[in-house]
A and B are shown apart, each in its own frame.
Chain A
Amino acid sequence: MTDRIETHLGTTEEGQMAQEQANTSTTASDVAATSAEDSDAVRTSGGDPDDLNPVIIELENVNVYYDDFHAVSDVSLPIREREITAFIGPSGCGKSTVLRCLNRMNDLIESARVEGGVNYHGVDLYGPNIDPVEVRRRIGMVFQKPNPFPKSIYDNVAFGPKIAGYKGNMDDLVEQSLDRAALWDEVKDKLDESAYALSGGQQQRLCIARAIATSPDVVLMDEPASALDPIATLRIEELMYELKAEYTIIIVTHNMQQAGRVSDRTAFFSVDIQDDGERTGRLVEFSETATLFTTPEKQETEDYITGRFG
């Protein structure tokens, strides 16, 4: 336990140092003025930009290509610490693609190429000598369909820390992770049983426990509740809200009400269809969720969120 707390502290300190770098670089780009930043500053009640949580991931002109296909065009937005940021938009708008840039999950697709900067604590994730494996330990991921390993509940949670060479008490870590994922009480008596014996909602919470077991500071969620029933969905949402105290969460969702319920900020992506049928996603609007859902700045956003899209 003590070990773990120390590692945590260690990470935070490093994080803050990197953060200071990030802040200086942010000021530079502030001058270049991403529109999202500007509108934040104007709109946030109190009006003091210093009240905002620090930026943990800054996307700068991110473009994603699959071979020659331009999937995502010029996305710039700041992700703030200990907030929930939602990505919404129609199918093919590149929201999942952008999400998968954030922990280099796109590496798994051979033809994928990312241009632009993804600065995590001020470090470019696509810079030289970045180990994607280490990146994924610090930026965890939860997928659309619950995908526990075909192993026991315990092994599902313990796998990540084990391969990362975790030296502390594994039982404690498993309990702690399951507890944070609000699953401990339901599974404490059957840790050796198959993860597949759990319900869909429980499996997804197990996947969240698995994701946070490696002590990430960011958790990416790719439509985490789309395969779940409404009650299980609300549980996951409630859990996200609790996790926000310690983690930065980025969620891709098709469910706009969900984005409205859980997120602090929302990025709306849309898709341009070129003459040759190529579909390129782009960021349309990024602002506080309450603003986006009541008084969106762009007509395109309004049309989408009110259901008059296309």
Chain B
Amino acid sequence: MSTSSTLNPRRATSEEVAKTIKRGGANWKPIAFQALLLILLSVSLLILIVLLADILVSAWPTFRDRGLSFITDGLSLNPETAGVWTAIVGSVIIAVVVAVLAFPVGIGAAIYLEEYAPNNSITRFVDTTVRNLAGVPSIVYGLLGLALFVPLVNIIGFGGATSGKNVVAAGITMAALVLPIVIITSAEAIRAVPNAIREAGYGVGATKWEVVKNHVMPVALPGVLTGTVLTLARAFGETAPLLVIGVATGFFAPAGDASFYDTLTGPYTALPVVVFSWTRQTQAEFAETLAPAAIVVLLVVLFILNGLAIWMRNRSDRKW
């Protein structure tokens, strides 16, 4: 009604409307930005592909000449007969120890932090500390393992011939290494559970434990599993802490009829360590074809692990 209004003085004609809402030409800014992003993605993918291709090409002769025996053979000073079996065994045992130790402890700690801990300065301090621990260089965990877990392993009777510098200590050290990550990823998954579900549980007279067990954890499980299994991959790839706790970087021959106890307590090695040590061997074949082949094996094992993680998540994540 007000004649002085500048907001909506009169009805616009359709030409005027067309002029304002039709675009003159192509708007190049968003297109350029999109192109830039695509280029960045291509560069990172390209680097990865080149790397993979290089390794596969280098590794090819080994698999062509040796076939499966490269996998099933143990360590050897002779490039003709050297294989990764001992390393696979070491890595898998480490992974199992990590799974047995770090997962329950980490998930339990996450549940406590998210569901039970009072929201006070101590909890916040613990939370911050866990986050900081996740960023501590892995070599430091190696030193911790040497100072703490090697003696501990001796005390609990797994010292064996290596006086504790064995796969058990390595596994415990790796568990300590991934523990903060397990806690953080699990806590995130638990935090992501809608509060409405908790309220619903309390609303029908459930105790805190019943709410956590019956409602929070089933919903959080896919996220928890994904996070924790991915930490296994981390444990698989780490080298530095193992070097500190006396992983064998040279040749050793486990007795063919070694008992499981001997395997646990004897000298050990792991896949990334083998890659590392082979690149430093004097014979050229070790660095040129065997190390890349070991890398391929490591990658395949990692793929299998990740695949397992996805499969487990999909299985537990029944869509309700």
Contact = CB atoms under 8 A, between A and B. Distances in A.
Contact of B204 (A145, A151, A195, A210): A210
Interface in B192-238: 194, 196-207, 210, 214-215, 218-219
Interface in A92-124: 103, 105, 108, 110
Nearest to A138: B205
Contacts of B218: 150
Interface in B160-185: none
Contact of A163 (B203, B206, B319): B206
Interface in A25-84: none
Chain B, interface SS category: helix
B119 interface: yes
Contacts of A151: 320
A280 B203 CA distance: 26
A151 B200 CA distance: 12
A58 B164 CA distance: 68
Given A110-B118, A151-B320, A136 B205 contact: yes
Nearest to B194: A147
Given A150-B219, A159-B214, A105 B203 contact: yes
Given A110-B119, A213-B204, A149 B197 contact: yes
A150 B197 contact: yes
Contacts of B119: 110
Contacts, number: 72
A150 B200 contact: no
A105 B203 CA distance: 8
Chain A, interface SS category: mixed
B205 A149 contact: no
Interface string B117-131: 011000000000000
A196 B318 CA distance: 12
A163 B197 CA distance: 16
A163 B210 contact: yes
A207 B200 contact: yes
Interface string A146-165: 01111110000001100110
A133 B211 CA distance: 11
A150 B320 contact: yes
A183 B123 CA distance: 44
Interface residues of B, number: 22
B202 A163 contact: no
A207 to B, nearest CB: 7
Contacts of A147: 194, 196-197, 199-200
Contacts of A195: 320
A105 B202 contact: yes
Nearest to B206: A163
In this complex, the member of A150, A164, A213 whose beta carbon has the largest number of chain B beta carbons within 10 angstroms is A150
Interface in B113-148: 118-119
A195 B30 CA distance: 43
A151 B204 CA distance: 15
B200 A214 contact: no
A196 B198 CA distance: 16
A213 B206 CA distance: 13
A187 interface: no
Contacts of A141: 199, 203
Contact of A108 (B197, B202, B319): B202
Contacts of B206: 133, 159-160, 163
A140 B320 contact: no
In this complex, the member of A105, A160, A164, A211 whose beta carbon has the largest number of chain B beta carbons within 10 angstroms is A160
Interface in A127-144: 133-134, 136-137, 140-143
Contacts of A108: 198-199, 202
A133 B201 CA distance: 10
A149 B207 contact: no
In this complex, the member of A145, A149, A160, A195 whose beta carbon has the largest number of chain B beta carbons within 10 angstroms is A149
B199 A214 contact: no
For the complex of A and B, the 3 pairs showing the least CB-CB separation, nearest first, are A160-B204, A137-B205, A147-B196
Interface of B: 118-119, 194, 196-207, 210, 214-215, 218-219, 319-320
Given A140-B203, A163-B204, 7 more contacts: A105-B202, A108-B199, A137-B204, A149-B200, A159-B214, A211-B203, A214-B204
14 contacts: A103-B203, A105-B199, A108-B199, A108-B202, A110-B119, A133-B205, A136-B202, A136-B203, A143-B199, A147-B197, A149-B197, A159-B206, A163-B204, A210-B204
